[in-house]
């Protein structure tokens, strides 16, 4: 396959490209920072990777490259867990997802509008490339709760992150008007060498780890390798379509996460991080770590997807060893 990817230099995107490249696929990296992308994917190590500069919030010549691809994976979006949510920051988070997806869908629609292709018989045939869009979303779609359980059929919440996800997914759904298969993956907290887990490990190394906030909030997670496998399945299996929760089948509460992390690292989990400290640091953005949701990947499991790391302890053990 030839796959175009946004957000390719991020935590998930870079791991996905390593897998795709290792399997012999061609990759188009759509990035705002070609210099950084070239450092992450040097040509001598990644000869199958083409790096193209793009403007996620504006139309441009970058969109034409999508016409040559079999599929698109849209992972781009401003980080939500870094810094205070000022009004300007919230607008960046919202626009990076809504407008960025809008321009990706525009490019796919333009590619599929050019249907007249000459054949050896001199007649015309229908060109339908790319044929699939894998669009990221997040479990923030469901809002937060300490008591409810959510699956792919659950209604959306009404807080800021839920509104972002609704707008994000609404733009992605417009690609179906071009006859393109759409898969929306609602990401949980992705665990791997980096990301959220990378920020939790240092205090444990210093014997100062513990649960964040009350410890009762749900933590719906997925190992990065399982997420990459899920994206690959969505790319290659035409029967996969619609919304899927990209979470492990066994979510845990924050207190259980901290205890398990301490056990795997052979460190105590005794020093809670008070909610007011997180709120002072992140403001409204503290909701990302102080509140959560119990999300079950019902449709994902129904596809027959096999998790390498369905349980937290096995996931953390693999990552930390």
pLDDT of residue 125: 46
pLDDT above 80 (res 287) = yes
Among candidate residues 222, 218, 213, the one with its CA nearest the CA of residue 293: 218
Among candidate residues 81, 216, 197, 244, the one with its CA nearest the CA of residue 145: 216
| Continuous segment of H or E residues that includes residue 3 | strand 2-6
User: What average pLDDT score do residues 246-272 get?
Assistant: 94
Angle formed by the axes of helices 195-205 and 312-320, to 10°? 70
pLDDT of residue 81: 79
- Greatest Cα pair distance, the chain, in angstroms, is 74
pLDDT of residue 128: 54
pLDDT of residue 99: 95
Residue 1: band (very low, low, confident or very high) from pLDDT cuts 50, 70, 90: very high
Among candidate residues 195, 227, 60, 45, the one with its CA nearest the CA of residue 235: 227
Residue 230: band (very low, low, confident or very high) from pLDDT cuts 50, 70, 90: very high
pLDDT of residue 114: 61
pLDDT above 60 (res 115) = no
Collapse the DSSP code of 242 into the 3-class scheme (helix H, G, I; strand E, B; otherwise coil) and give the result.
strand
pLDDT above 80 (res 278) = no
Residue 214: band (very low, low, confident or very high) from pLDDT cuts 50, 70, 90: very high
Residue 116: band (very low, low, confident or very high) from pLDDT cuts 50, 70, 90: very low
User: What average pLDDT score do residues 109-118 get?
Assistant: 63
pLDDT of residue 283: 76
57 in Cβ contact with 97 (< 8 Å) = no
pLDDT above 50 (res 151) = yes
* ∠ CA 153-159-165, rounded to 5°: 55
pLDDT above 50 (res 118) = no
pLDDT above 60 (res 199) = yes
Average pLDDT over all residues of the chain: 91
pLDDT above 90 (res 196) = no
Residue 2: band (very low, low, confident or very high) from pLDDT cuts 50, 70, 90: very high
pLDDT above 60 (res 98) = yes
14 in Cβ contact with 194 (< 8 Å) = no
User: What average pLDDT score do residues 23-38 get?
Assistant: 96
Prediction pTM value: 0.93
Highest mean pLDDT among 107-116, 125-134, 190-199: 190-199
């Amino acid at each position: 396959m030839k796959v175009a990817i946004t957000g390719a230099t991020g935590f998930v995107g870079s791991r996905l490209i390593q897998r795709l490249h290792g399997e012999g696929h061609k990759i188009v990296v759509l990035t705002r920072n070609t210099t950084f992308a070239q450092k992450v994917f040097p040509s001598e190590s990644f000869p199958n990777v083409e790096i193209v500069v793009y403007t996620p919030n504006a139309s441009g010549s970058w969109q034409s490259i999508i016409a040559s691809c079999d599929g698109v994976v849209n992972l781009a979006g401003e980080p939500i867990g870094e810094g205070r949510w000022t009004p300007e920051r919230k607008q960046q988070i919202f626009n990076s997802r809504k407008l960025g997806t809008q321009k990706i869908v525009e490019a796919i629609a333009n590619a599929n509008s050019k249907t007249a292709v000459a054949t050896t018989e001199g007649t015309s045939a229908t060109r339908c490339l790319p044929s699939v869009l894998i669009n990221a979303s997040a479990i923030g779609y469901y809002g937060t709760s300490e008591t409810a359980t959510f699956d792919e059929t659950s209604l959306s919440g009404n807080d800021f992150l839920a509104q972002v996800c609704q707008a994000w997914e609404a733009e992605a759904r417009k690609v179906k008007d071009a006859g393109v298969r759409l898969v929306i993956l609602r990401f949980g907290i992705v665990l791997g060498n980096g990301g959220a887990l990378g920020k939790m490990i240092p205090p444990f190394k210093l014997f100062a780890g513990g649960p964040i906030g009350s410890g009762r909030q749900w933590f719906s997670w997925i190992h990065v390798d399982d997420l990459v496998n899920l994206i690959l399945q969505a790319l290659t299996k035409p029967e996969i379509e619609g919304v899927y929760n990209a979470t492990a089948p066994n979510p845990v509460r924050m207190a259980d996460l901290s205890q398990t992390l301490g056990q795997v690292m052979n460190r105590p989990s005794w020093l809670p991080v008070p909610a007011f400290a997180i709120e002072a640091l992140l403001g409204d953005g503290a909701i990302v770590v102080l509140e959560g949701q119990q999300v079950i990947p019902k449709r994902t499991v129904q596809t027959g997807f096999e998790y390498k790391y369905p349980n937290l302890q096995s996931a953390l053990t693999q990552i930390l060893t």
